[in-house]
Structures are given as C-alpha cells and as structure tokens.
Structure 1
C-alpha cells in the first residue's frame, strides 16, 4: 500500500489531502503555516492531523528505506523467492520486517552454526521428519565425528537440537502469534529484590504485583521499570495461570511437529530458552514504548495548557522568589517585562524582619506603580503570600493584587546562558524573581525560554525517551506560539524562534534589526532582515503582529498574501479598510461567493472574516487565580471533609494533582473527579484550572493528600470550577476592581 493511502486511512482523510500535505512539508512548509493558511490545498487538515501525518511519514519512510536494505541483503544471498518478497513488501511495521529478516540476518557464530559446521544438519532434518523407527540415540550414532568435536551420540543430539531450536524460533508468523498471545493473556509478575525493602519503600505497591501486560497503565509500567532500574524490583513474563505448556504446544502446532518425547523436549527448550526470553524483552520494550508515548502525550497536553494559560497582561509587576534563611528576592518589571529594580528582604525566620520587608516592598511598589505581585510557590510561599496580602491591605490605594504562580523551571532559567546574557550582573536568585514576575504577565512568552521538560508538568518525564520527549514538546511550544501570535516589536528572540519559518539565528537577526533601526511599522520590512528571504517571510508573516503600524491588517492573523482580497471586501461594501475591520454587522453583509477563487476558497474566506471581526484577539482564557484558605498552610492543618480551593498543577491518566497551598500537591484520583464515570481526566480538568476540592485523607509519613471533586454524600453542592464572572470577595472581583480584566 502506498504511504499516502496508509496515512489517509489512519487519519480518516482522503489520499489526495495527505499527498498535498506531504508535498507542502517536503517543500519546507511548517505545520502551523499549512494548518492556518493552506486549508484549500489540504482540505482543512488541522494541526493535530498534520502532526500525526508528519510523524507517521517519518516512520514509514524509515520503514521503506529499511525494506530496501532487507530485500537487497536476502537477494544477494540468493534466498529471495516470490512469497518472501511479497511478505516483505506487505510488512507494515518495523517489527514485522525484522521478524521476516531474522533467518537471513548475518549472525555471530552460534551453537547452531557450529553444529552445522560439524555436519549435524542432516541429523536434525532426519529427527524432524520422524520417519526413522530407531531411537534418537541410535540415529545419532552415525554422526559421531571426533575431528569436529562430536565424540558421542549425546553430543550429536545436542547439536541437532540447537539447529532445530534456532530454526523453529525464526518464523515471523509464529513470533507474531506468540507475542500477541502473551501481550493479551500473559501476566507481568513483579516482586521485591531480597534485602531492598527499606530502600524501596516508594515502590512498595509493587512488592507483590501481577497484571496482564495489555492492561498495565502507563504510570504503573514506568514505575515498575524505574524500580527495576534502581535494583528494587524484578519482573518476569509468564503465561496465563494453568496454561504454562501452551507456548511449546503452539510451537508444535505451528510447525506441525511429530509427537515424540525428543521433539516435545526440543519444543519445550525452544520456548523456555529461546522464544520466551526474547519475547519477554520485546514485550517489556513494547510496554515501555507504549507507556513512554502515553506519558509524553500527557506531558504535551499539560504543557499546552500551561503555555496557553491566561496572561495577566502588560502591567507593572513585583516578582517575589520566596526563601527563609537566604531571604525573599524581589524584582520589579515594567509592563513590557523590563527589569526596573530589585532587592532582597528577610521577613521570615531566622531573621524575622517583617516590618522592614513590608516597608521595602511598599517603597518599590509606590515608586514603580506596581499593580500585580507574583509569588513563587516554592519554599516559604505561603508565608510570603501573607506578607504580600498584608502589604496590599496596608496600601489599598495601590490596588495591589497578590497572585501565587508556579515557579517550576525558574531556577533552570536563572542559571541558563540566556539569563546570564540578559542579566550578566545579577545574582541567579534575582533572575528567578524576574522570571516569576514575567510569567504572570505572559506565561507563554516567559516559559519558551525554559527547556520544556524542566517545567515539571510531566509524568515520569526523566524516564522516557528524551529525544522523543524533546521532539514532541518542541512541536507543542511551536504550535502554541503560532496559535497565539507574536508581537514583532516586543518579542524576545527566544519567542520568535518558535514562529513558523524562523530559526534561532534569523530570530536574533530580527531583534538586532529592531534594536538598530527602530520598531517595525509594517510586515514587509521583515524582508530587509539578514537571512530572512521570501520563503521564510511567507511562513512567518501571518504569525507576527505589529500594533499601531502603517497597515491595520498587520495586527491580525490575516496573511499579507490575502491583503488584496480584504481590500476587495472593503470595495464590495463601499467602505474603507478601517471601517471594515472590527465591524461584524458590516462583515455579515459580504457576498463571499463573489470573492471565492481557487486560491481563496470557503475555508480561507471564513477564517479571514472571523479574524476581521476581532482582529488580533488573544485566544487564551481570562486571567483568574485560586484563593487559598489562610488557615491552611501545612499538612497538619488539613482535615478530612474540608472544602478548599486550589489550582490544578498536573493532569495524568490516573487523576489530577492540585495545589491547595500546603507545599505538597494533593491527588484527585480519576475515580474522585466527578459523580459520573470519567474515562480521561483531561475531559474535566486542565493544568492551571481553578477547582474546589474536598480533603479525603492525609498520609503525613508519605506526604500524600487524597482529594475529591465529588459532591459530599450526594448533597446538592458539588465542587465547582470557578466561573469567569467576578463575584464580591473573589480574586476575579479584585482584578476587576483593579482594572486588570483581560481585554
């Protein structure tokens, strides 16, 4: 089957759609560009379909290259017949292809090979045919060859057996059948390594554990594999209980072997010594790959939620990086994120300079017109939040709004070359405070500076394939940046390097050009940037915004290639471009059929009209935060039955972790997410979402908090997700009063 047809079937698309997308990708077009600006060409394949297509295309092309190598190798050996060639051409996976190649792959000198060299293959064939009425020992007597090291019938029989074991184990169809059987029916039995009980307490759930391979969820699989890697757990793949002899029986049936004691034992040894160990390795690898792929998908979804979290907006912000002995690092940034001032205060133990700290922060806030206070959620976060709230109550005229934000990855950024280049004279801890302030203003713009896996919203992210993880997270960052769009005159080089068509070097050139020539006033000026040619311009232009420029369409997602079309829209309605933009009623009167062409069809026309209705709109949600209970700051303050407000920090396949302000996230198990059955936690919650939870239990020794979002005792008061509407006394109301609602 052609690659295009295979992918089309998997995507539920037409082959011509897939073929068009492949052609665009091969020409160097990016997925965000194709998804947004080439819908007519691809039949409106979305970015998710295009990412899957891109990934599968790479795999299938690698498979095709390997297929040619295998065919050439077998052909050179003179062993390629029509049946085998058809099987190889029909192989749809790398595993199937390698199984077919197994009998012909060059091998090291095995015991079977040595036996063949000793002339024992005819004996193996003779025993397999089972036509000789003599005993195996009697038949083997004719093959004694001291010069070849075969001095006894037993040695001859052992050599013949090794030949048969190798031969019987090299059937692609048998391997596939056995793998499928053991995957679906076999058990992975896990046990504790003797003497490791004290060292491996975090794995105690798996000290005596057994589950069907196919049913093991990704988080359990990765936990078992980590425990094995750390020398705490061992595992063994077993046939279903009561069916331990089925493996050898399947070998007998597949090869239609004669039933006699010697052949039976050969099949048993083929199973236990050759096939089962290899299949166990294959299936554990399959389990790992499936678990890693799922973990990477979970990480990607959480990262997307975090990157697309609501920005507080361009407001002067005070960032606080909490600490005890080393003090609280404070940094003020202006509306654009530029550092204005910084200071270290010591309000907490052992220094306890509370009033001095308040005075210092008040001075900073008054001097620089601070409106938001961003507090990192690490050590001493709750104490620092109390300090910020007291500051806000003492200085009501400033309208300060304290907000706790995740500081995950801030320390990584602060010690990076990027941070050192921007702030060469600043201590790394002050750089961290700057990052905390900026990520409240615009999470996406700040988080792109941090290696995605350091942001900490994954599940066993350090155990998965790091190259695959980096590739997936890289596409998530790219898709998010292009989904939101980038301000050409304020964006950092790091942010612009994620825009379609722009490399890091070209993004740096844009910043250098901007610094030297001044702000961009129209998108066409991009063509003056060194190394930014027509192809790169085509890819990036629609994702870069210019506020208050010469061309109002430059502040929209309308691509420059469609500007003439928009001018025709204005002419059709008898109005100016300025009058057309932002006027839904006028746009509704357009006769789109008169504007339709091969290049600009219904998909593109609809997108353009939608963009013109609200040009440059930010697709991210409204900014809201959780309000922690001031009386709950440690695990000891938690009591079963308490209702608390918190923020979702991580979503996994088994539930959601929620920050409730006690320095330890609680877990809402998937069974506690709702009063109904929930198949996928992502259906209900996402990273950053504000939720109300009920405390079920607290395990202080293991630092585990069990939470629930179910209604209590079927009372008509289910926990609720906070609604966007501001209510008196809520953080949303405070933001509204301070004029900080997102425009």
Structure 2
C-alpha cells in the first residue's frame, strides 16, 4: 500500500497522508462526490478531478502490484530469481516493463530456440557471439549429430541463430530502448487495400497517409483504426534509415551485443542474425505494442472528451417548472407533439404533418396554437434531429402569428430520446402512450430539467462523440457513469419529485432502494423530512453518504 500511495502522491503532487486517507474512505464505500464535498478535512482538500485521478490510478496500481506478485512467485518457483532480477521487478513502474522482465521466464510453447538448446547448440551460439573471429562453418561442424536431427552445419547454424534471436528479443533493457526509439521516431503509414477504393471512399484522406506516431491526434488515430477494422486500410509502422545507411534499430541491437563489421569470420553471420531478430521477432511485436498504445492513448483522450460533453449536457441550465410543448421533428412520419405541465406530467399529445410530403402547414399551425392555448403553454422545446430547422421555422411562425400566447422556443438535444421511448422505464412512466410520442415527452422534460430526464437514458446512448462506438465500451461506460454520478450529487435531488433512475445516482443509494423510495412515496405521499425518509424506507436508516444530497420540498395539506 505504501508503494501505491507514494506513487499516487507524486502524480498528484500532494502528501502521502492525503492519499492514504482517501484510499481508506474509498475502501469503506465512500464515493468520489461524497469525499470531495464532505470529507475535505480528511483528504486535505483534494478536489473532484484529483479524486477521480486517484481513483483511476489506484485501480491500475493495484493491478500492477498483483501482477508483480504473480511474476515474482512464478520466477521463484523456477528457482531463477536472482537478487538483480528481483530488484528490477520491484522497481518496474509500468505493466509493460514488468512483462519485458518476465518474458524470458514466462511459460511458453516449445520454441525453435528451445529445441535448439535441447539439441545442445547453445554453446555454439554463445561462442560465435563471444568470439566473432571463429569460422561459423568450422565451429558448427563439431555439433553435427544425426541422432539430434543436426545432419549438417547449416542445421547447426540455424539452431544457433534461433537461440541468439530469442536472446536479443528477451533482453528487457534492449527492448525498452527499442520501444522508446520507435515511439519517438516511428512513422505510421496507411494505404488503401487493393480493390477497396470505392467501398472505402470515406477513408480517402488516409489512402496515402504517413505521420509520426507520437503526433497523431486521437480522432485521427481512431479513424485509422476504424478504416483498418473495416478492411479498407492497412497500417504499417516503420523508422527511417540512418543518413549513412542502415536500419537504426538493427544498429541498436548490434551495439547492445558488441556486434559489428570488422571483417572477422563470424561478423556477417552475426549481422544477419541481428537482421532476422529485428524483422522476424522484435519489430512486429513492437509494432503491435505501439499501435495498441496509440489506440489506448486515443481512447483515453476520446473518452475524456465524451465525458466533458456529457457533463455539459447534463448540467445545461434547466428552464424550470414551466408548461412546455415538446416537438420531436420528422418529415414523412410527422412532427410528434407532447405538452407537459410544470412537473413533467403529460397534458396532451398530437401528431402534425407540416413538412413534405403532406405539407399541412396551416393546419399544423392551428393544432399547435390550440394546444398551447388550451394548456397555457409557456415554452416550446424542439428536438435537434431530422427536420429540426423546418420545425423551428414552424414554431417561429406560430409565435409571430399568435403573440398573445407569449411562447418562447428553444432547441434541445434529442440524443437518446428514441432509446428512452422504447425502454421499460418509458412504458412504466407513460403506459398506453404510443412509442413515437414518448420522444416528444422526453424532449419537453429535458428542457425543464436536463439532468433529471437524461439520467433515465444509458449514457452511451446520449451520443456524446463521433467515435464513441470505437473505444473500449467498458471504460467508456465507467467514465460516463462517473460523470452522471458527479453531476447528480453536485446538484442534489428532491426526494419528493425525483424519478427512481435519478435517485439511484445519489451517493449511497442502490437501484432497489431508489425504487422502494418511489414506491413508498406513491403509496403514502410526500416525505416531510429526511428523518421520515430514513425511518420509513424499508425501515433502514438512510446511509450517511446519502443524506447530504437529499432534500425535501414538502407542503402540508390544508
């Protein structure tokens, strides 16, 4: 634990005691919003952003420590754990570094190098590496043994080469330097797969593309990976040759193993072994790793943007408790209309056809005016989907023709409205209402209170980014759920009006307890205090984590 908290303290530039106190609170079940607002004295004033970083880093470092323990145990069981190797493993600060160190000891399928060792060819490999003046053919002749399937010098040298290639590929320090060099100097190139030019026209910007892998922005990286996944693009990572000629990574391998061209008998053979090691074993592995790292970096940035977009959407200023007309625009299927009162209760619905192909503009205008007048509507919420501009024009003309209605119109995001319409919650809230009309109800309500309405929808369905379906869905969902939790707990809820999905986001409340609160409220009426809430709901005391976020607006009956 000391190692973990010390590492996090360095990342956040805070005291280790602050991190220790926060970890204890998290392990006891406290949520980030609760700790940020009501345990500042324990954490030394860590804010929401620092706490989220701490929470995420804590998970990574605990996984790292668990993997470290597994690796140490495995190597110890093999009786190969030297003091130097143990020190290196204990000092490894990333999963990648750990896996590099573990690779030579990791149980693996029987490799060509292992077969060569079993045939007794390791002394040949080491002697050629240590004494390049030896003739490879003459040295190999001593290892010919038909009983071991080594019938000629070529077979012996091939086996020795496999041993050295594996040795180079499992040198953790060397692999680390090669990875860093490729990360800093590698060029990622994309090309169109032959015959996919027309089918993949949307990726035409990347048909002849090359850019430093270290400088590729997240949106471009995700576009490249999408193109590859759809079979349109092929991706290749490479590094430029040295000005004087020669592959720089091969040069690094040669230097690390004291291999060079000095006209000695084994120099050419050793340099060819280096080329094989780089091209067959090392470069492909590092290309996969670096492309994976690029994707992870791009996903992290994209998820950060998606989370920020969702945060802004949830905390958009609510219009408040006004009677509102919701318009869900459409062309052929018409514009769906719903009127809700100041609490979100549905007062009336309709479907009008002002646009092509029916073009019932004046008739639609009259229907809207009648609804607005009958229910004394104050606001018009227009979904921003298909035909939204045409519908906005309709609302503007309605206001111009009927100034006595004193209407105001606003455009709102309709993202996720169709998902809500077909959900079980919508069926429960709006029983008997046609699915197509439920979206208009949601649009009206989200103008009144965006947060209260949008929490009813899976955050991934709200449509907060262009590439949200290309990123890791588990990580995306965890990030978006954290945003919802932070927003709900920042605003708080009114226990007498909040829906079950909204209550379920309150720190300390589960889905079951939230539903029980709503059921009790529906059966027995409003809660007049937190104390009543604590004592009545399932006869459990309200969890202390919950109380700061719950308020009651109770008016005693006359």
Tell whether the structures are fold-level matches, with TM greater than 0.5: yes
How do residues 466-477 of structure 1 correspond to structure 2 at under 5 angstroms?
466-477=473-484
Residues 684-728 of structure 1: per-residue CA shift (max 9 Å, x gap): xxxxxxxxxxxxxxxxxxxxxxxxxxxxxxxxxxxxxxxxxxxxx
| Structure 2: gaps spanning 5 or more residues | 262-266
Specify which of 393, 404, 417 is matched with residue 411 of structure 2: 404
Instruction: Tell me the SS of whatever aligns to 1:537.
Output: coil
Q: In the alignment, what sits opposite 1:158? A: 158
Instruction: Tell me the SS of whatever aligns to 1:236.
Output: strand
Instruction: Tell me the SS of whatever aligns to 2:543.
Output: helix
Cα distance, 1:531 vs structure 2: 5.4
Specify which of 229, 245, 248 is matched with residue 247 of structure 2: 245
Cα distance, 1:424 vs structure 2: 3.3
Q: In the alignment, what sits opposite 1:556? A: none
How do residues 294-443 of structure 1 correspond to structure 2 at under 5 angstroms?
294-443=301-450
In 1, the alpha carbon distance for the partners of 2:212 and 2:354 equals: 55
Q: In the alignment, what sits opposite 1:178? A: 178
Residues 186-242 of structure 1: per-residue CA shift (max 9 Å, x gap): 111111212222122211111111111111111111111111111111111111354
Instruction: Tell me the SS of whatever aligns to 1:329.
Output: strand
Pick closer, same or farther for the CA change 1:49–1:532 going to 2, 3 Å.
farther
Q: Kindly indicate whether residue 519 of structure 2 is the aligned counterpart of residue 512 of structure 1.
A: yes
> Residue 382 of structure 2 contacts residue 412 of structure 2 at CA under 8 Å; is this kept in 1?
yes
In the superposition, the TM-score normalised over structure 2's length comes to 0.95
In 2, the alpha carbon distance for the partners of 1:13 and 1:67 equals: 25
In 2, the alpha carbon distance for the partners of 1:262 and 1:549 equals: 91
Cα distance, 1:494 vs structure 2: 0.5
> Residue 240 of structure 2 contacts residue 247 of structure 2 at CA under 8 Å; is this kept in 1?
no
> Residue 506 of structure 1 contacts residue 532 of structure 1 at CA under 8 Å; is this kept in 2?
no
Cα distance, 1:380 vs structure 2: 1.7
Q: Kindly indicate whether residue 122 of structure 2 is the aligned counterpart of residue 121 of structure 1.
A: yes
In 1, the alpha carbon distance for the partners of 2:539 and 2:8 equals: 33
Q: In the alignment, what sits opposite 2:71? A: 70
In 1, the alpha carbon distance for the partners of 2:136 and 2:466 equals: 56
Specify which of 546, 554, 558 is matched with residue 552 of structure 2: 546
In 2, the alpha carbon distance for the partners of 1:293 and 1:355 equals: 50
In 2, the alpha carbon distance for the partners of 1:116 and 1:100 equals: 21
In 1, the alpha carbon distance for the partners of 2:305 and 2:378 equals: 35
Q: How many residues in Structure 1 have an aligned counterpart in Structure 2?
A: 548
Q: Which has the larger helix fraction? A: 2
In 2, the alpha carbon distance for the partners of 1:86 and 1:105 equals: 18
Cα distance, 1:151 vs structure 2: 1.4
Q: What RMSD over aligned residues (CA atoms) do the two structures have, in Å?
A: 1.6
Cα distance, 1:159 vs structure 2: 1.0
> Residue 509 of structure 1 contacts residue 529 of structure 1 at CA under 8 Å; is this kept in 2?
no
Q: In the alignment, what sits opposite 2:45? A: 44
Cα distance, 1:395 vs structure 2: 2.4
In 1, the alpha carbon distance for the partners of 2:189 and 2:277 equals: 22
Instruction: Tell me the SS of whatever aligns to 1:450.
Output: coil
How do residues 689-728 of structure 1 correspond to structure 2 at under 5 angstroms?
none
Cα distance, 1:459 vs structure 2: 3.6
Q: In the alignment, what sits opposite 2:108? A: 107
Instruction: Tell me the SS of whatever aligns to 1:374.
Output: strand
Residues 396-443 of structure 1: per-residue CA shift (max 9 Å, x gap): 222111222111111111112221222232222101111111111111
Q: In the alignment, what sits opposite 1:715? A: none
In the superposition, the TM-score normalised over structure 1's length comes to 0.72
Cα distance, 1:109 vs structure 2: 1.3
> Residue 120 of structure 1 contacts residue 143 of structure 1 at CA under 8 Å; is this kept in 2?
yes
Q: In the alignment, what sits opposite 1:221? A: 221
In 2, the alpha carbon distance for the partners of 1:507 and 1:42 equals: 29
Residues 466-492 of structure 1: per-residue CA shift (max 9 Å, x gap): 100000011001001111111111010
Q: In the alignment, what sits opposite 1:3? A: 4
> Residue 130 of structure 1 contacts residue 258 of structure 1 at CA under 8 Å; is this kept in 2?
no
> Residue 324 of structure 2 contacts residue 340 of structure 2 at CA under 8 Å; is this kept in 1?
yes
Pick closer, same or farther for the CA change 1:539–1:531 going to 2, 3 Å.
farther
In 2, the alpha carbon distance for the partners of 1:36 and 1:368 equals: 42
In 2, the alpha carbon distance for the partners of 1:235 and 1:45 equals: 43
Q: In the alignment, what sits opposite 1:595? A: none
In 1, the alpha carbon distance for the partners of 2:393 and 2:68 equals: 65
Instruction: Tell me the SS of whatever aligns to 1:143.
Output: coil
